[in-house]
Amino acid sequence: ADTLPPLMIEALEMATGEPSSEEMDKAFECWKADSCTLGDGPITLALADGFGDNTWRQFSKMNVILQAMKFPEVGKFIATNAHGELATFQANLRSLTAQGAEAIVVYNDFGPAAYPALQAAQREGAKVATYVGSNDGAPTSAITTRVQPDICEAGKEMAKATEEAIGGPGPVAYFEGTPGNPQDEGWKKCATEAGIEADFEAETEWTPAGAQKAASALVASGKPAKAILYSYSNPVPSIVNVYLKAGKEIPAIITWTQMLEARRELDLPHRDVAAWLP
């Protein structure tokens, strides 16, 4: 722990405290709403999610709320969801600053295309903090601080895990979330540069229905994918079920987010690459 930045240590210490039942009730009511009052503090905190329509993003929203409750400076909380639409995301940011948001937590699904809107939010006086999605090269005028994994290193580790699992570089399929999101573009590029041979790609919107559709398209294509590389493990059961229903051999599945619910549900071996690589 002593190798971590002091701010991270403070945040983790706050997060380890067990919320009371009253705090959980309050957090749940806030989670169900678009806005709520968390305390008496003067700061309005907002969450601007580029695509808040899957399980992981819903957990993330609750984590933001629970952490915000630890800070007496926070009074009001506002949450927005752009559902994968850049124009909606831009409009949401304008709305948040108009409502007086002074701190905005952001998942940027749009890469540099979102920077002008983030810059505008900061010109209005808000501080912007992004998480997970790649924002490499973003100007400080757009983002105050960012918390993200080394996405390229994740791609390299996925390549290594794939070669160990199937005894070679491919052929494999790449599954991604929302179209063109920088997170998937980053790990795919680095996995390919590490030697992985992909001959099929599909979008899933990071949802079980989307993953099922992508897996069905892969099976129908006849492409002999020995592995599927995917950035999100929660919809893995939907992928496996497609193969079981089709009577096909299940390929190796390599993900870089870890959600053990999928593994327990299937009772199948599953290779996870740690999401928070150094």
Overall size of the chain counted in residues = 278
pLDDT value at residue 14: 87
pLDDT value at residue 15: 87
H/E element, 48: strand 43-49
pLDDT value at residue 258: 62
Q: Which residues contact 164 (CB under 8 A, 6 or more apart)?
A: none
Report the C-alpha gap between 225 and 125 in whole angstroms. 49
Q: Respond yes or no on whether the N-terminal peptide bond of residue 171 is cis (omega within 30° of 0).
A: yes
Distances (CA, A) of 274 to 50, 52, 150, 199, 277: 23, 22, 11, 25, 6
pLDDT value at residue 275: 35
pLDDT value at residue 274: 38
Report the C-alpha gap between 109 and 86 in whole angstroms. 8
Tens digits of pLDDT across the chain (278 residues): 889 889 889 888 888 888 899 999 999 999 999 999 999 999 999 999 999 988 889 999 999 999 999 999 999 999 999 999 999 999 999 999 999 999 999 999 998 999 999 999 999 999 999 998 778 888 999 999 888 888 899 999 999 999 999 999 989 999 999 888 888 998 999 999 999 999 999 999 888 999 999 999 999 999 999 999 998 888 899 999 999 999 999 999 999 876 555 444 444 444 444 333 32
CA 194 to chain centre: 23
Backbone angles phi, psi at 109, to 5 degrees: -90, 0
pLDDT value at residue 259: 54
Are 231 and 220 in contact, with CB atoms under 8 Å apart? no
Are 95 and 47 in contact, with CB atoms under 8 Å apart? no
> How many Cβ atoms from other residues are within 10 Å of residue 236's Cβ?
25
pLDDT value at residue 256: 80
- Token representation of residue 260: 């053990």
